[in-house]
Amino acid sequence: MTLDRRRFLATTAAIAASAATPAFAAPALSSKRPAPKDRRFVSAAVEREIARVSAQIADPKLRWMFGNCYPNTLDTTVRMSTVGGAPDAFVITGDIEALWLRDSSAQVKPYLHLARQAPELRTLFRGLIARQARCILIDPYANAFMQDPTAKSNLEWSQKDETEMKPGVAERKWEIDSLCYPMRLAHGYWRATGDTAPFDATWAEAARASVRTFREQQRKEGPGPYSFRRSAPQPTETLLWGHGAPTRPVGLIHSGFRPSDDACLYPFLIPSNLFAVTALRELARVAGEARGDAALSQDATALAAEVEAALKAHGTMRLRDGREVWAYEVDGYGNAVFMDDANVPSLSGLAYLGCVSPADPLWQATQAAAWSDNNPWFFTGKAGEGIGGPHVGAGQIWPMSLIVRALTATDDATIRTALRTLRDTDGGTGFIHESFDRDDPATFTRAWFAWANGLFGELIVHLAQTRPAILKGEL
Helices (H), ranges, 77-228:
101-108, 119-138, 176-193, 201-216
Q: What's the pLDDT score for residue 4?
A: 52
What is the residue-level pLDDT of the chain in tens, covering all 475 positions?
A: 334 555 445 444 443 443 333 334 444 699 999 999 999 999 999 999 999 999 999 999 999 999 999 999 999 999 999 999 999 999 999 999 999 999 999 999 999 999 999 999 999 999 999 999 999 999 999 999 999 999 999 999 999 999 999 999 999 999 999 999 999 999 999 999 999 999 999 999 999 999 999 999 999 999 999 999 999 999 999 999 999 999 999 999 999 999 999 999 999 999 999 999 999 999 999 999 999 999 999 999 999 999 999 999 999 999 999 999 999 999 999 999 999 999 999 999 999 999 999 999 999 999 999 999 999 999 999 999 999 999 999 999 999 999 999 999 999 999 999 999 999 999 999 999 999 999 999 999 999 999 999 999 999 999 999 999 999 999 9
CB of 302 closer than 8 Å to CB of 321: no
b/e 401-426 (16+ beta carbons within 10 angstroms → b): bbbbbbbbbeeeeebbbbbebbbebb
| Contact in structure between 76 and 34 (CB atoms under 8 Å) | yes
Angle at CA of residue 213, ends 209 and 215, nearest 5°? 120
Those residues whose C-beta lies under 8 Å from the C-beta of residue 237, and which sit 6 or more positions away, are: 4, 230, 262, 263
86-91/78-83 β-pairing = antiparallel
Buried b (16+ CB within 10 A) or exposed e, 168-190: bbbbbbbbbbbbbbbbbbbbbbb
Residue 67's pLDDT is what?
Answer: 98
User: How many alpha carbons fall within 13 Å on the CB side of residue 168?
Assistant: 15
| pLDDT value for 11 | 43
Q: Which of 270, 248, 257, 455 is nearest to 362 (CA)?
A: 270
Conformation bin of residue 332: beta by default, left when phi > 0, alpha when psi is -120 to 50: left
| Continuous segment of H or E residues that includes residue 99 | strand 99-100
**SS3 state of residue 46:** helix
d(CA 307, CA 305): 6
Q: Which of 253, 204, 250 is nearest to 224 (CA)?
A: 253
Q: Which pLDDT does position 5 carry in this prediction?
A: 53
pLDDT of residue 13: 46
The answer to whether 182 and 133 have CB atoms below 8 angstroms apart is yes
